Amino acid sequence: MPKGKSYDSRSSKAPKRARVVPDPLPQLPQEILEQIFLNLNARDLLHVRRTCLRWRDAVGSCPGLRDKFRLTYPPRKFWMTIPKPPGTVPASTVEFQLFSKYLKIGDIDPWWPQIASTVTCLVMTRCEFPLNMLRHAPNLKSLELYFARIGPLGRMTTRLESLECVIGIDSKHCVIAELIQSSKSSLKKLVLDVSRCYLKTISLPDFAQAHRSIDELTIVNSTDDDPKSLCSLTFTRFYCIKKDEDEPILTNPSESLRYLRIRANERVQLPSAKVFALFPHLTELILVLDYQLSDVLVKEACRTLTRLERLTMGDGRTTTHYAVAYIRRYCRDLKHLTLLGYWRLKKTDKQYLEQNMLARDLYSVHNSRTIEHYFAIEKIARFDRRRAAGGT
């Protein structure tokens, strides 16, 4: 064999092996892909979108998957145009925010209609934005305005199901009344913390007559001197913050109300028996007062609202152990109990409380007749989270 040469012992005439090509996997229907992807978090969904076009389309076309994305623009002083987000992730919620000064959005770029076509929730915090941002969002269901400015709607019609408005007294270009009237046939949730001057075109009787679809209503102070017409609404949730003495709560019973949250300051002494009698079918009550509760107030609430399933009460420092006894006696259907601050309890009440929540001893006062304990009460959910994390 000549030196420096090498030979292949394999025959060049040997037949080549046929390349084995596996059968393509059957393509899953888009509905099944959506059900699989619903179990993923937002970060995993971003990786899924980059896998193939089919998976990317599945993520972008499913409302349940888009709900997992929230596109938030960081605070800036001024935007002539809205910058295009990287990757144009199809998010159902878009938020513009600014915490110190107002953010002014001058105009929108051509990419906004593509994103806005799938947006169902728009949050504007201290922003002034053009009306055409809403025109390109035909599927918009929820609009949250926190000290935001917007021009007049004109002939534009919205189909909002949820509207939250927090407007300062010095806000300009406020069209809250127009938004409410424009969405009167579809509105289900309404949260108003605005000055009465912005609602001058709305009278409460007309409001109650026009908005039959509302089932959740939050009003900070009242929008009218006579709020009894609210009883004609079919809402199930009502949140009332009382700040002034001359503002009455509802005067007629509300058969449909299921949720009530009341906050009052020291100047507003609520006629407890009359107030609670207005809500015979109430299942959840949140009573947070700037002054301490009393045994009488707790008794009237529990004796009148026998269908309560969830009860939250503020500081009970000035109550006695009878307050918890009233809860045990009258609220037989109670499933969730939250007592905020300090409550004076007898030792025999501890077993009842520990069945539903975490009780932690702060200190005890020994007496010749009874031993009373002060407990800091927390929700059972917080206790469950501790156990899940391995804590004691």
Q: Is residue 53 part of a domain?
A: yes
Q: Is residue 75 part of a domain?
A: no
Tokens of 241: 């913050």
pLDDT at 291: 63
Q: Is residue 60 part of a domain?
A: yes
pLDDT at 113: 81
Structure confidence at residue 288 as a pLDDT band (50, 70, 90)? confident
Nearest of 139, 103, 145 to residue 124 by alpha carbon: 145
Question: Left if phi > 0, otherwise alpha if psi is -120 to 50, otherwise beta: which for 390?
Answer: left
Average pLDDT over residues 248-267: 64
- Identify the residue with better confidence: 23 or 191: 191
Indicate the number of domains in the chain. Answer: 1
Across all residues in the chain, what is the average pLDDT?
67
Q: Is residue 253 part of a domain?
A: no
Q: Is residue 240 part of a domain?
A: no
Q: Is residue 3 part of a domain?
A: no
Average pLDDT over residues 20-44: 68
Q: Highest mean pLDDT range out of 93-97, 113-117, 307-311? A: 307-311
- CA dihedral (213, 216, 220, 221) in degrees, to 10, reads 60
Average pLDDT over residues 330-357: 74
Domain of 51? 29-68
- The residues, ordered by sequence, that sit 6+ positions from 354 with a Cβ below 8 Å of its Cβ are none
- Please state, in angstroms and rounded to a whole number, the distance separating the CA atoms of residues 213 and 305: 25
pLDDT at 21: 54
Instruction: Record the pTM.
Output: 0.55
Q: Is residue 103 part of a domain?
A: no
- Please state, in angstroms and rounded to a whole number, the distance separating the CA atoms of residues 133 and 145: 14
Q: Is residue 112 part of a domain?
A: no
